Structures are given as C-alpha cells and as structure tokens.
Amino acid sequence: MRRQPEKPKLDRQTDDVPPGAPSWVTPDLIADTIRVWQPRYEAPLTPDDALAMIINVGQLFDGLYGEQ
C-alpha cells in the first residue's frame, strides 16, 4: 500500500479565504493554489492573489467550455 504524501500544515497567512469568495473556495484550495504558483512569482502570493487566479481560471474555462 502506497502512503499518501503528508499535506503541509496551513499557516494563518495562506490558509484564510478572502471575504466575498464563493462558498466552494476552501482554505485548502487557497493554500494549494499558492503552493503551485508561488515558485513562478518573485513576490509572495497572498490569499487574495490566489482567489483572483482561481476565479480567472474558472472564467477562462467557462468561456471555452461553457454553454454555447
């Protein structure tokens, strides 16, 4: 049986969901988005940055694959 990698513990700086975020946005989603994208940015990403990325990608997919 293969062990699942342990998820890093979230810290208070990156695990907060910004006010006004859709209800499906979780602290884990914010933290995972920051973890994936941070290596590509010099400046530290914030939960607000992560939320903007999540929303923008969602809108891109809606535009490409949404109702036609």
- What residues make up the domain containing 39? 27-57
Q: How far apart are CA 27 and CA 10, in angstroms?
A: 8
Q: Give the chain's count of helices (H) and strands (E).
A: 2, 0
Provide the pLDDT for residue 66: 84
Residue 15 included in any domain? no
What total of structural domains would you count in the chain? 1
Residue 10 included in any domain? no
Coil vs helix vs strand at 49: helix
In angstroms, how far apart are the furthest CA atoms of the chain? 45
Residue-wise pLDDT tens digits, 12-60: 454 689 999 999 999 999 999 999 999 999 999 999 999 999 999 989 9
Residue 38 included in any domain? yes
